[in-house]
Structure 1
Amino acid sequence: MNIIRNPKDVLSGLLFIALALLFGWQTADLPMGTAVRMGPGYFPLVLSGLLGLLGIIVVFNGLRTPGEMPTGIAWRALIIITFSVVFFGFAVRPLGFLPALGVAVFVSTLGSRLFRLQTALIITAVMVVFAWAVFIKGLGLPLPLLGPWLGGY
């Protein structure tokens, strides 16, 4: 009897767990603080824990439900999403938080084989509003909404 019924899910879950451990280890030297007064290591550690929990759930699902073998690497998606993340990192200061995020999210949707313009625009709008609500309004982070290239700060 084969224990692994869905190798694709098991491999994905193990990748999530490995990344969670790596990112969690990287936060070890940062002060944690408390839930009320978060230190710089608090939020990354919480996200690492959530990623690890998600990995455990995906591995468990891969052991329970049947699935298929991985067929290969989606190079197009990998390159486009990596470019989007790098673009955001370089563009957040000159463009500002919201425009850089909007472009990065929209470009990352191009990585899907199921790309639809209307869906991409909706995803972009929802993510930008969500990020604004969480990071600017909710957490009160001092991120400039528009950068100097767009007339901000």
Structure 2
Amino acid sequence: MNNPSFDRANLLCGLVFIGAGAFFAIQSLGLELGTSFRMGPGYFPLVLACLLIVLGGVICLQSFRKEGEPIGSFSWRGMIFILPAPVIFGLTVRGLGFVPSLFLCAFLACFASHKMTVPWALVLSLSITVFSVLVFSYALGLPFERFGPWTRF
């Protein structure tokens, strides 16, 4: 009997999507759903969760169409540099302000790649920060402090 061949990475990804969608669908059921014409606070999250479940199902089905590459080693470097970035942003944005916090987090996240160098990380972080300030502060007019009390001497 032949072993069935499938793409383990896609199967795992699809199952994660289904699990996350199911979690958020269950959570949204605790809110008022309303109707399509008078949406309650739980309606849109439920629709998005259902779409995530469907997408996960499609990815799972696609995983059985062809054999994929074996799952490689776990990327610890990515986890170490990317996961703390939003936490650091949340902890520093009130004190440092939007500009320094965003620059710091972008700079930290850059080093998730083995190929990143300090000069390129500085350029990329500065570009992300300038773009974000232009979009969120000037174009959208969001009311936040660009520089916080920790940066005032």
Question: Could you state the TM-score of these two structures normalised by the residue count of structure 1?
Answer: 0.63
**Aligned pair in 2 of structure 1 residues 64, 45: CA closer, same or farther (>3 Å)?**
same
**Aligned pair in 2 of structure 1 residues 113, 16: CA closer, same or farther (>3 Å)?**
farther
- Does the 8 Å contact 1:4/1:62 carry over to 2? no
Q: Which residue of 2 aligns with 1:36?
A: none
Q: Is 2:127 the counterpart of 1:126?
A: yes
Q: Which residue of 2 aligns with 1:104?
A: 105
Deviations 1:95-125 (A, max 9, x none): 1011101110110111212222343223212
Q: Which residue of 2 aligns with 1:71?
A: 72
Larger radius of gyration: 2
SS of corresponding position for 1:113: coil
RMSD across aligned positions (CA): 4.1
SS of corresponding position for 2:115: coil
Single out whichever of 58-67 and 80-89 deviates more from structure 2.
58-67
- Does the 8 Å contact 1:4/1:10 carry over to 2? no
Deviations 1:66-122 (A, max 9, x none): 531222321222122122221111110111011101110110111212222343223
Matched pairs, number: 146
Deviations 1:1-59 (A, max 9, x none): 9887532244335435544665676677789xxxxxxxx99x98999799779867866
Identify unmatched segments of 5+ residues in structure 2.
Answer: 33-40
Q: Which residue of 2 aligns with 1:83?
A: 84
Sequence identity percentage:
36
SS of corresponding position for 1:145: coil
CA distance in 2: counterparts of 1:29 and 1:145, whole angstroms: 37
Question: Could you state the TM-score of these two structures normalised by the residue count of structure 2?
Answer: 0.63
Q: Which residue of 2 aligns with 1:34?
A: none
Q: Is 2:116 the counterpart of 1:115?
A: yes
